[in-house]
Amino acid sequence: MVFPMSERSPIYGFSRGYDSLSIISLVALVISISITFRANPVSIVPAAGVVGFALIFSYSWSRGRKRHILLYLIDDGIEFVDPAIALGLVRWEELEEIRIYATLARPVVAFALQNPREVRRRLPFLMLVFSGLIWGIRRYQFTIQLDNLDDQVSALSSVATKKGVPVVSELA
């Protein structure tokens, strides 16, 4: 299938960063609840933590279930706009490999970079520090979860292949 690429062809999916935030906030919520119920009398700080972490959990859980534009395919490369890891433009020549994993109805696409340190410098400071721990040990520096098995997978695969980026796919 040949994908007709417009100026910015969107690829939709689900931001995995919100899932991570949901897990972290849920753990913090449970800890805050246990501290609040152990305190006699109830202290305002752990009670505020319960309210705050409950709000963060509900927000991140609902945002993690909503479909977003994660990236755009453009002539120069891939523009990453995922709310969890907004890298901006990653040029085709900066990509070493793209791998497509088949996970039920939602494929996961992983990206390996030629020079991860150079691309990582584009991130905000906190993401720069956090990603340094993860990107150093992983073969694929970041992953996205697409909406479903449809033309988006073939679009990403065909455009990347046409641009000279190897694509490894578990799909038939």
> What global pTM score does this model have?
0.73
Calpha distance 29→79 (Å, rounded): 35
Q: How far apart are CA 63 and CA 105, in angstroms?
A: 19
Q: Is 146 exposed, middle or buried (0-12, 13-18, 19+ CB in 10 A)?
A: buried
Per-residue pLDDT of the chain (172 residues; tens, 9 = 90+): 444 555 688 888 887 778 888 999 999 999 999 988 887 887 888 889 999 999 999 999 988 888 888 889 999 999 988 877 778 889 999 999 998 887 666 788 888 888 877 877 777 777 667 666 666 666 677 788 887 666 788 888 889 989 999 998 876 5
Q: Which residues have CB under 8 Å from 106's CB, separation 6+?
A: 13, 14, 145, 146, 147, 148, 149
What is the reported pLDDT for 5?
Answer: 52
Instruction: Check residue 101 and give its pLDDT.
Output: 83
Query: What does the alpha-carbon distance between residue 151 and residue 167 come to, in Å, rounded to a whole number?
Result: 16
CA separation for the pair 63, 25 (Å, rounded):
14
Map out the domains of the chain as residue ranges: 17-64, 90-169
Interior angle at CA 82, CA 76 and CA 87, nearest 5:
50
